[in-house]
A and B are shown apart, each in its own frame.
Chain A
C-alpha cells in the first residue's frame, strides 16, 4: 500500500490515526495535527487527525525494511483504500489463557481465503535470517575458542619456559615439585581470570559503541549487542578451564624435568 502524507490544518472532527514516533519526528507532527492520507499520489485521499504518537516494539526484522508506519481503525483503512472487503493482514488479540494454536485452527476452519497463524510461528518464519546468522556466529565462536586455546597453551609454555632457572633454584633449595606445580597453576588461573575480565570489559565497551552507532544509524532502540550475566559466567569459566588446563600441561612438563637439566646441565 502506498500512502502519501500531507499535513493540513483542518478544523472539523476527523478520524484518528496513531503515528510512529520516527515518522512524526520526520514530518514534524504533534498530537492534534491534521494530515491528509492517500493510497496513491494522484488520489485526493482523506483527512485524519493525529490521535497518538507511539514507539513501535523493538523488532530487529523491521530494521532493514526502513518502513515508517501509522495505525488507524480498520473501517478507516478500508475506506481510504476504496476496498472495504479487502485486508492484507489483521492481528487478533486473545483473552488471557486462550491457546493461540487452537484459536488459529478455529479461524482457519471458519472460512477460506486467508490463513491464521500464531504470532510465534510468524516470528519464527521471519527470523530465519537471524537463525542462519546465529549459526555463523556459533561457528566463528568455536573456531575462536579453539585458536585461543592453542594460543593460550603456547603462551603458557613460553611463560613456564621463562621460569626454568627459577624452578631449578626452587628445586635446588628443596621446594617440592607439587609446590612449584601449585604455584604455576595458581598463576595460570590468575592470568586466565584477569584475561577473561579484560576481555569482558573490552567486549562491553565494543558492544556499547556498536549499540550507539547502529541505534543512531537505524534510529531505533533495538539492542544490537548484549552481554548478559550468562555470557560473562561462560566466558570466565571457559577462560579458567582453558587457562588452568594449559598451565597444568606446561607446569607438568616443567616439574617432570630434572633440576640439573632445568639449570642447563645434565
Chain B
C-alpha cells in the first residue's frame, strides 16, 4: 500500500436492505455506499426511520444486507460463517448502544472483562486491561459497582470501555447520547473526541447535533439513501 492512500477499515458498497411487514416490503436502505478510513470519525445523521441504524447494523455484521457487500479490514462479511462473523465482531468491532445494555448482575469491571473472557484473554491480563480502561473513561473508583448502581452517564462510559476491551479496529455507536442529559452527554462527547485523538476509528449514528459537529465527516441520510457526504 502506497503512502497517502489509506485502505478503508470499513467499506459498504451499494447496500440495500428490505423488510417484509405483513403484505408490504419496506425499503430501509436503497443502495448506500460508505467507506471509512482508519482513524476517521464519521457521524451518520438523519430523521427517524431514514435507515441510519440499519446501515450501522449492516456495517457491524449484525444483520445481512438484501443486496451489496460490507468489508471490514478487507474481509467481506458475506463470506463468513456465523461463527467467524461472531469472532470478527468480538475482536475487530466495538459496539456502543443507546441504552448501554450492561449486564446488571456484573460489576463495571466484570462487564468490561466479559468480551475479553470470551476472546480467551488470561484472567490477570483482562483484569489489568479492564482497570486501565475504567481509568481511561474516568471511572476507576467505580470498578466494584454493579451496573444498576451507576448513573446513566457512568453506564455509558462503562459501555464505551467494554467496546474498547478487545482493542477493536472500529467503534460503532448507535445514538450513544440518546439516553443522557446535556451534562453527561457533553462528558461522552469529550470521551469520543479523546478516543478519536488517540487513533480510534468511530462511526456514530446520532440525532445529537453536538455529537455530529464533533465528527470529522457527517453523512446525512434520508429515505434509505445518503443525500450528500
Give the distance in Å from the alpha carbon of A5 to the alpha carbon of B75 in the complex.
Answer: 103
Which residues on A sit within 8 Å (CB–CB) of B63? 258-260, 265-266
Interface size class of B (residues with CB under 8 A): 20 to 34
Nearest to B115 among chain A residues (CB) is: A173
With an 8 A cutoff between CB atoms, is A169 at the interface?
yes
In this complex, what residue of B is CB-closest to A179?
B118
Residue-by-residue, is B103-146 near A (CB-CB < 8 Å gives 1, otherwise 0)? 10000000000110011000000000000000000000000000
A173-B90 CB under 8 A given contacts A260-B57, A266-B19? yes
Closest to B88 in A: A174
Chain B, residue nearest A258 (CB): B63
Question: Which residues of chain A are near B57, meaning CB under 8 Å?
Answer: 260, 263, 265
Decide if B83 touches A174 in the complex (CB within 8 Å).
Answer: no
Asked if A30 is an interface residue, CB under 8 A from chain B, the answer is no
Contacts between the two chains (Cβ within 8 Å), count: 57
Q: For the complex, give the distance between the alpha carbons of A165 and B118 in Å.
A: 19
Contact B118 A166 (CB under 8 A): no
B1-26 CB contacts (< 8 Å) to partner A: 19
Contact of B101 with A166 in the complex, beta carbons under 8 Å: yes
Does B86 sit within 8 A of A, measured CB to CB?
yes
Chain B residues contacting A266 (CB-CB under 8 Å) are 19, 63
Please tell me if B87 contacts chain A, counting CB pairs below 8 Å: yes
User: Known contacts A165-B101, A166-B101, A265-B57; is A174 also within 8 Å of B118 by CB?
Assistant: yes
Contact with A along B69-93 (1 / 0, CB 8 A): 0000000000000010011111101
A171 within 8 A of partner (CB): yes
Are B162 and A173 touching (Cβ within 8 A)?
yes
Chain A residues whose CB sits within 8 angstroms of the CB of B60 once the complex forms: 172
Residue contact B87 to A169, C-beta cutoff 8 Å? no
Task: Name, among B63, B87, B93, B103, the residue most crowded by chain A CB atoms within 10 Å (CB to CB).
Answer: B63
Residues of chain B with a CB closer than 8 A to A176's CB: 83, 86, 118
- Chain A residues near B91 (CB-CB < 8 A): 174
Other A-B pairs beyond A175-B114, A260-B62, 15, CB < 8 Å: A165-B101, A166-B103, A169-B97, A171-B62, A172-B97, A173-B90, A173-B162, A173-B163, A174-B118, A176-B86, A177-B86, A179-B118, A260-B63, A265-B57, A265-B63
Pull 15 A–B residue pairs with CB atoms less than 8 Å apart, ordered by A: A169-B97, A169-B101, A172-B62, A173-B89, A173-B94, A174-B88, A174-B91, A174-B115, A174-B119, A176-B83, A176-B118, A177-B86, A259-B62, A265-B54, A265-B57
Taking Cβ atoms with an 8 Å cutoff, the residues of A that contact B are 165-166, 169, 171-177, 179, 258-260, 263, 265-266
